[in-house]
Structure 1
């Protein structure tokens, strides 16, 4: 997945460089409210360390659907607020965040960088540990952030398309069990410990902007 993301970033930048050379500049005033609906697919990266254990985070995947309402001040700067649903394998979040993005050039095809910072509320979480690892991932609400680099393509006067490689950070508790020899333990159906974690993800985002 890391190689795919790196290749994707390189392709996006090359695509933007080749096409923006031949495109005319935008002539109209582009300030005003803009909306974006986006879909993201991400995979976990790194390790999760707790007690004497290490779990690879690459078993965690996210599919998300987000809606943004923002104000575009000029051809370059846009800020706004967003909300979405992040669905993991056995849990889900509802992130609410502030959004900021920059178009690098005033052309119909432009490189774009964005950042979202906010808080993710729980939608649901599995009450039982995973069968193999005996843990419950992302069991609590927490800080949420993501950033990405991509390309915006103007389809028509009030419609644009976004394709971006992006990184996501989610703070949440990992729940697990430590065997206590003095009591009966049920690590397959319950947990007795938790640790606050930072979950890291990389992936691709596609979006449609309209106003």
Structure 2
């Protein structure tokens, strides 16, 4: 074997372990390594429903902070503001414990499911000749399914559709035409379809 061929062969054999190691390192780097982390969400939503007689729509705004334990589960808490009727001010300020599950997917879009359980504080209001003397909130819960679309690094777009429930009680002091006062207690149960759009960061 000629000396220059022997030198090339020796050089190739000496570089082979380095090339193998570099390829292995590149392969590990290409795999997404999960690390537990905090994540934040801000969402705006529309609440669609009726009281048996007419359509009643409302809006919502909420913040949720969760800790992503693993690729499939996150737990945390949230708070928000919800109005169930545009023209009458049935408004509540809920806070929840939140449980969120992620479904493995091959593409960029990440499906998820969410359950939030908590309590909605009532906001006092006055309606025409009906004076609200006491407003109590109650159990508040929602469930939803949706998708997360990554935008940039930790930033993502959220779209979800779910079901919203709020229990409440209102007591009114009603002035009659014969100048006597009476009280009326209403047990309220709001059930709404909840369409939300938000961002995760």
Query: What's the TM-score, normalizing by structure 2?
Result: 0.71
Partner of 1:32: 37
Partner of 1:197: 188
Partner of 1:10: none
Q: How far apart, in 2, do the equivalents of 1:191 and 1:66 lie?
A: 37
Structure 1 position 185, deviation (Å): 6.6
Q: How far apart, in 1, do the equivalents of 2:147 and 2:182 lie?
A: 44
Q: How far apart, in 2, do the equivalents of 1:204 and 1:26 lie?
A: 34
Equivalent residues of 1:76, 1:106 under 8 A apart: no
**Superposition pairs of residues 156-171 of structure 1, within 5 angstroms:** 156-171=152-167
Secondary structure in 1 matching 2:55: helix
Which residue, out of 46, 49, 60, partners 1:41? 46
Equivalent residues of 1:45, 1:202 under 8 A apart: no
Gaps of 5+ in 2: 1-29
Which residue, out of 55, 66, 84, partners 1:58? 55
Q: How far apart, in 2, do the equivalents of 1:196 and 1:171 lie?
A: 8
Instruction: Determine which structure has the larger strand proportion and give its number.
Output: 2
Equivalent residues of 2:47, 2:192 under 8 A apart: yes
Query: What's the TM-score, normalizing by structure 1?
Result: 0.68
Partner of 1:51: none
Structure 1 position 150, deviation (Å): 1.2
Structure 1 runs of 4+ with >6 Å offset? 176-180
Gaps of 5+ in 1: 1-24, 48-55
Equivalent residues of 1:87, 1:93 under 8 A apart: yes
CA offsets per residue over residues 55-114 of structure 1, 9 Å max, x none? x3622x221111111100112111100011113431321111001111111553122111
